């Protein structure tokens, strides 16, 4: 662990300015991921700018019926919120499927999006990793592949994004608010996190010094009939091999609306737009669920060590759709 300076910023603007101007500076909120990485010298910021007290810790109703989650709200509070449990049950379930009570109490809604991959090579400074050390090579391909991506990976990186919360956020088309050196802007979650391409060190599209200040959940009727299913190597305290956030609305036997997003399979939460398109308006049948899942996974490029994720993802999608549509009947 390298020595660092701790600063408590007075307002968002000065925090943004500090991190914008100093390439060695980083924001600190819950610290549940960053501090670990610092101990291992995977992350070596020289300055930590504490922002947790600067961003909202509240969940507010929005005039359109949606909700605004302050970036400083703990993961625990998001999961426990009555409105979220009623209107977006998959989001509450996703958060509760991740980490532990202690971590969820400390981790923030904003920070959760920005946690780094759990790829074992990223976390070991004695092995090459393009994400940690651009251009050094990818150790994961041909190595421990179990947790790697099957969708959207590049030669440079096959890491997965570890968040559960972000998968549900992607499914509901959540939008983050940021404040950065160029002012404020909003970014849909599905655009916030990115695929690795040739720049795997960039997990997201945020500019240096740009801070997430809130997350908006749009009003979404279908989300009330939703569920998050996390398939992993043990019943608790493990990252997803495959997870599915799903919401379905069926009327007269036809799929009226549907949202599907996958975790554990890509460098970002994988919104299953192809499957959603295939299902919209189609009869809610087991065959159609299978066909939609297969269409989504047609582009999967698994590695020898994670090929099982393709049938696992397909089965889990079908299983979820079946359960949700059976309940709706």
Nearer to other proteins by Cβ, of 87 and 166: the residue is 166
Residue 234 or 329: the one with the smaller Cβ distance to other proteins is 234
The first and second tokens of residue 199, run together, are 């720049």
Q: Nearest approach, Cβ of 123 to other proteins (angstroms)?
A: 8
Q: How many CA atoms lie within 13 A of 313 on its CB side?
A: 34
CB of 72 to other proteins, least distance (A): 25
The distance of closest approach from Cβ of residue 191 to other proteins in the complex, given in angstroms and rounded to an integer, is 29
Between 82 and 236, whose beta carbon lies closer to other proteins?
A: 236
| CB 101 to other proteins: min, Å | 12
Identity of the residue, 195 or 312, whose beta carbon is nearer to other proteins in the bound complex: 312
200 close to 219: Cβ distance less than 8 angstroms: no
Q: Which residues pair with 229 in a beta bridge?
A: 244
Enumerate the β-bridge partners of residue 177.
186, 214
Q: Given the complex with other proteins, which of 178 and 316 has the nearer CB atom?
A: 316
Closest to 70 (Cα-Cα) out of 104, 111, 25? 111
Nearer to other proteins, 126 or 298 (CB): 126
Least distance from C-beta 231 to other proteins, angstroms?
5
Shortest spacing between CB 13 and other proteins, in angstroms: 32
Cα–Cα distance measured from residue 283 to residue 185, given in angstroms and rounded to the nearest whole number: 39
Distance between CA 101 and CA 10 in Å, rounded?
Answer: 29
Show the DSSP H helices in the chain as ranges. Answer: 12-21, 34-39, 75-80, 82-87, 89-96, 101-106, 109-113, 165-171, 189-192, 273-279, 286-297, 309-328
How deeply is 124 buried, as exposed, middle or buried, from its count of CB atoms within 10 A (0-12, 13-18, 19+)?
Answer: middle
Spatial separation of the C-alpha atoms in residues 172 and 53, rounded to whole Å: 27
- State in angstroms the smallest separation of the CB of 316 from other proteins: 6
Nearer to other proteins, 58 or 286 (CB): 286
Nearer to other proteins, 68 or 230 (CB): 230
User: Considering the complex, what minimum distance in angstroms separates the CB of residue 113 from other proteins?
Assistant: 19
Q: In the 3-class helix/strand/coil scheme, how is 15-84 assigned residue by residue?
A: HHHHHHHCCCEEEECCCCCHHHHHHCCCCCCCEEEECHHHCCCCEEECCCCCEEEECCCEHHHHHHCHHH
Q: 261 pairs with which residues across the strands?
A: 245, 271
Q: Which is nearer to other proteins, 230 or 271 (CB)?
A: 230
With b for 16 or more beta-carbon neighbours within 10 A and e for fewer, the 5-34 pattern comes to eebebeebeebbbbbbebeebbbbbbbbbb
Please state the closest distance from residue 99 (CB atom) to other proteins, in A.
10
Where on the chain is the footprint of other proteins (CB under 8 A)?
1-3, 39-41, 118, 120-121, 123-124, 126-127, 139, 142-144, 231, 233-239, 241, 308, 311-312, 315-316, 318-319
């Amino acid at each position: 662990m390298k020595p660092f300076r701790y600063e408590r910023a007075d307002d968002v603007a000065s925090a943004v300015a500090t991190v914008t101007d100093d390439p060695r500076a980083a924001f600190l909120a819950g610290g549940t991921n960053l501090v670990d990485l610092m101990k291992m010298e995977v992350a070596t910021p020289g300055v930590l700018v504490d922002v947790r007290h600067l961003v909202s810790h509240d969940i507010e109703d929005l005039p359109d019926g949606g909700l605004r989650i302050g970036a400083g709200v703990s993961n625990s509070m998001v999961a426990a919120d009555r409105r979220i449990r009623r209107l977006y049950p998959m989001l509450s379930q996703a958060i509760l499927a991740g980490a532990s009570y202690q971590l969820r109490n400390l981790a923030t809604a904003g920070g959760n999006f920005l946690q780094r991959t759990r790829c074992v090579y990223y976390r070991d400074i004695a092995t090459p990793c393009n994400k940690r050390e651009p251009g050094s090579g990818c150790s994961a391909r041909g190595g421990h592949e179990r947790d790697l991506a099957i969708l959207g990976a590049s030669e440079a990186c096959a890491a997965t994004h570890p968040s559960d919360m972000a998968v549900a956020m992607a499914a509901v088309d959540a939008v983050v608010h940021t404040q950065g050196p160029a002012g404020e802007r909003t970014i849909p979650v599905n655009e916030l996190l990115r695929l690795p391409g040739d720049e795997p060190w960039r997990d997201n599209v945020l500019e240096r010094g740009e801070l997430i200040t809130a997350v908006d959940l749009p009003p979404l009727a279908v989300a009330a009939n939703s569920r998050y299913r996390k398939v992993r190597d043990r019943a608790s305290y493990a990252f997803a091999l495959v997870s599915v956030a799903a919401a379905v609305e069926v009327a007269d036997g036809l799929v009226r609306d549907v949202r599907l997003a996958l975790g554990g399979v890509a460098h970002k939460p994988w919104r299953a737009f192809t499957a959603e398109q295939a299902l919209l308006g189609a009869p809610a049948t087991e065959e159609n669920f299978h066909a939609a899942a297969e269409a989504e996974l047609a582009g999967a490029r698994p590695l020898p060590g994670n090929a099982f994720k393709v049938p696992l993802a397909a089965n889990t999608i079908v299983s979820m759709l079946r359960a949700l549509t059976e309940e709706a009947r």
